[in-house]
Structure 1
Amino acid sequence: MQDNSRRMYELEYPAPEMKPKNGTTLVVALQGYADAGHAVDSSASHLLSSLENSPVAAFNNDELIDYRSRRPAVRITDHEVVDMDDLTLGLYAMRDSAGHPFLLLAGPEPDMRWNAFTDAVIDLSERFNVSRTICLYSAPMTVPHTRPLLVTAHGTSDEITRRHFRVNSNMSLPGSASLQLEYTLGSRGRSVAGFTAHVPHYIAASNYPEATLKLLRAVETAGSLSLPLGSLERDSAKMMTLLRDQVDDSGEIAAMVRSLEQSYDEELESYREDNPEALLPGETEATDPDALAEEFERFLASVDDRGDPGDGEADSPGDDGGPAPGPDDQHP
């Protein structure tokens, strides 16, 4: 396996230190497999553009990519080739908004040598102390855009998946490199989960920021990470406004959406009956009364420690020398 792995990728030097005490989270976002709404590709792009990162390993495209089936776009300007799509498949060391490290595997899904690729990723996971792996997917589904977007979870770790909607049935679907990685990690007793965004089928060919947003919120929860999602929230709101205007302008589309809403509501109600404790899409976890009481006691203690408000000036955001919180510092 070592020889195979060395042929498969090249490590950057010096390698970053990625050994937090609770282990590292690896997020897998490979392009090309049922990426409805371009949510998986957009998730990787958003993380790389908004967070501090550095390359860890670059995979050998000539070993993995069939260029004839995945031809990169080439741009010609004034009879000269000036640009060509980058098909880099790489592993990146990331830092979330709070400075916590995690890993991101991003780029095109390999066309060939899935077994060797899987062994190489597991080799890298062991090298960088990966304790949990999260794979991202996005699928076109017969659901309406007017209801909370559903993210279903599967995997070996109940700790990761229990907070999410889970499909309790048998299914058969085409394989992928990410699914093979999940299967192999699971067979070795590793903590691994997959999150799938359910994108309305009539929007699947377009960029759908809501799906990207919900996938990354799932990553936040599962990986105990803090991610900058403010721009995605704004993009999602703009898309919803455009969709609402289009539906209002077409009675045929409006009728289709109403039918999808009815089916969605019936399916969700059936799921609630079978899973009464489950947290459904659009809901938030109820506050623990004991935790709320403890928080209130801590607040009263801090007021007592501060003394009479008249004794000094009131604190304001940033008075401790730190920056005042901005809108993107609030994470759902």
Structure 2
Amino acid sequence: MHDESKMYEIEYPAPAVGDDSARGPVMIVALQGFADAGHVVDASARHLKAALNTKPMVSFNNDELIDYRSRRPAVTMTNQSITNVEELNLDMRVARDNDGTPFLLLSGPEPDLRWEAFTDAVADLADKYNVSSTICLYGAPMTVPHTRPLVVSGHGNDPELVADLLKIDSQITMPGSAQLFIERELHTRGHKVAGYTAHVPHYLAQWPYPQGTYQLLTSVSRSTGLNFPLRSLEVDIERARAQLDEYMSDNQEVMQVVGALEEQYDEEIQRYREAHPNAMLPGEQAMPTGEELGAEFERFLASIDDQMDPEKGPRALGGEDKDDEERQDDDNRDDK
């Protein structure tokens, strides 16, 4: 029988967490219910679970943590009988990115109850599985236009985790959340921890905003080296952009508001550039490091060696022995 006094249960047998590297896994925290403008946090978790191989590792006890009156699950009635009740799954999963690198994903509804106990439990699990760094995801409604590059700001105790993100150089007081409690506890225990916040246009905060989801996951990938599949999000972005363009073309008042937001955005970005001349701003690409340049040069030299190999013949130089049909097949594979 399920022991309701327990905060969580670990799957048995538990899925493997480690890999060949000595570094422990990254943990991504994406809880529903707080600071999720544009549904970017929930969508990030859903995308990772749908696009990657994930296995449940820890299941938290809903009866210990969830007030069902505050988030009543959907109930389905079919032919006058109750046939289904929506599941609220608060769990930690082991996922593997495109390269097979494992990481942990804590997602599901934010607990209504026992935040301190929940925080301690998550921190204990981070200790148990030797988590190398933790990134908490947020989405905030901001007075920014959707026609400018989306801003992701960062805060945290490790400079490398927030190096490429905008920083807010001021003291802020905000409502608490379970994720913020987790950040505080992990910091107290000496873990590397950061929070990433997507700045979602306030007039789109109530609807799914795939651009915010994409930028959050791209920021996580850039700082941790995790390789996420994001092509489907790019398709969603194009679809959403087309819908917005169509809507705006018929609404001059909205276009005027967006134009004013663009001016404000440009002024704020310019002020930030002056205060942080070395910062990478939204829409800009980071300069490659010396190690990255060296690795790229080595790959180039290796490709030259392959082309000069007489045993590989003309295929190594572009393959003049291929007919048009074979070339088309190669193009199709590249497109995929």
- SS of aligned partner of 1:314: helix
Q: Does 1:200 align with 2:201?
A: yes
| Aligned CA distance change for structure 1 residues 297 and 43 (closer, same or farther; 3 Å) | closer
- SS of aligned partner of 2:226: coil
Paired residue for 2:18?
Answer: 19
2 CA distance for matches of 1:306 and 1:160? 40
Q: AA paired with 2:119?
A: T
1 CA distance for matches of 2:130 and 2:333? 32
Paired residue for 2:46?
Answer: 45
Tell me by how many angstroms 1:6 deviates. 7.6
Per mean C-alpha deviation after superposition, the further-off stretch among 286-295 and 103-112 is 286-295
Q: Is the 8 A contact 2:95 2:102 kept in 1?
A: yes
Per mean C-alpha deviation after superposition, the further-off stretch among 165-174 and 301-310 is 301-310
Tell me by how many angstroms 1:143 deviates. 0.6
Where do 5+ consecutive residues of structure 1 fail to align? 318-323
- SS of aligned partner of 1:130: coil
Paired residue for 2:275?
Answer: 274
Q: Is the 8 A contact 1:152 1:197 kept in 2?
A: yes
Q: Is the 8 A contact 2:134 2:192 kept in 1?
A: yes
Q: Does 1:247 align with 2:248?
A: yes
| Aligned CA distance change for structure 1 residues 97 and 298 (closer, same or farther; 3 Å) | closer
Provide Cα deviations, 1:249-298, integer angstroms capped at 9, x if missing partner. Answer: 10100000001101111000000000000000000012457854773465
Q: Is the 8 A contact 1:5 1:119 kept in 2?
A: no
Q: AA paired with 1:13?
A: Y
Q: Is the 8 A contact 1:73 1:85 kept in 2?
A: yes
Q: Is the 8 A contact 1:5 1:116 kept in 2?
A: no
Q: Is the 8 A contact 1:198 1:211 kept in 2?
A: yes
Q: Does 1:138 align with 2:139?
A: yes
Pairs aligned (count): 319
| Aligned CA distance change for structure 1 residues 301 and 96 (closer, same or farther; 3 Å) | closer
Aligned-residue RMSD, C-alpha: 2.3
| Aligned CA distance change for structure 1 residues 5 and 96 (closer, same or farther; 3 Å) | farther
**Sequence identity, in percent?**
50
Question: Structure 2 length as normaliser, TM-score?
Answer: 0.89
Paired residue for 1:217?
Answer: 218
Q: AA paired with 1:52?
A: N
Query: Where in structure 2 are the equivalents of 1:279-298 lying within 5 Å?
Result: 279-288=280-289, 292=293, 295-296=296-297, 298=299
2 CA distance for matches of 1:145 and 1:39? 14
Per mean C-alpha deviation after superposition, the further-off stretch among 182-191 and 287-296 is 287-296
1 CA distance for matches of 2:208 and 2:303? 47
Q: AA paired with 2:90?
A: L
Paired residue for 1:320?
Answer: none
Tell me by how many angstroms 1:19 deviates. 2.7
Q: Is the 8 A contact 1:18 1:128 kept in 2?
A: yes
Paired residue for 2:110?
Answer: 109
Per mean C-alpha deviation after superposition, the further-off stretch among 283-292 and 59-68 is 283-292
Per mean C-alpha deviation after superposition, the further-off stretch among 181-190 and 227-236 is 181-190
Paired residue for 1:127?
Answer: 128
Q: Is the 8 A contact 2:306 2:312 kept in 1?
A: no
Tell me by how many angstroms 1:326 deviates. 5.3
Paired residue for 1:7?
Answer: 6
Q: Is the 8 A contact 1:154 1:161 kept in 2?
A: yes
Paired residue for 1:321?
Answer: none
- SS of aligned partner of 1:57: strand
- SS of aligned partner of 2:315: coil
Provide Cα deviations, 1:197-231, integer angstroms capped at 9, x if missing partner. Answer: 11111111111111111111111112210000000
Tell me by how many angstroms 1:58 deviates. 0.4
- SS of aligned partner of 2:132: strand
Q: Is the 8 A contact 1:5 1:120 kept in 2?
A: no
- SS of aligned partner of 1:217: helix
Paired residue for 2:300?
Answer: 299
Paired residue for 1:179?
Answer: 180
- SS of aligned partner of 1:116: helix
Q: Is the 8 A contact 2:5 2:64 kept in 1?
A: no
Q: Is the 8 A contact 2:45 2:107 kept in 1?
A: yes
Paired residue for 2:232?
Answer: 231
- SS of aligned partner of 1:233: helix
Per mean C-alpha deviation after superposition, the further-off stretch among 73-82 and 41-50 is 73-82
2 CA distance for matches of 1:14 and 1:326? 40
- SS of aligned partner of 1:7: coil
Q: Is the 8 A contact 1:19 1:129 kept in 2?
A: no
2 CA distance for matches of 1:190 and 1:12? 25
| Aligned CA distance change for structure 1 residues 77 and 266 (closer, same or farther; 3 Å) | same
2 CA distance for matches of 1:127 and 1:141? 37
Provide Cα deviations, 1:173-195, integer angstroms capped at 9, x if missing partner. Answer: 10000000001111222100000
Q: Is the 8 A contact 2:196 2:216 kept in 1?
A: yes
1 CA distance for matches of 2:56 and 2:295? 43
Per mean C-alpha deviation after superposition, the further-off stretch among 8-17 and 294-303 is 294-303
| Aligned CA distance change for structure 1 residues 216 and 112 (closer, same or farther; 3 Å) | same
Provide Cα deviations, 1:4-24, integer angstroms capped at 9, x if missing partner. Answer: 998100010011222341111
Tell me by how many angstroms 1:304 deviates. 3.6
Question: Structure 1 length as normaliser, TM-score?
Answer: 0.90
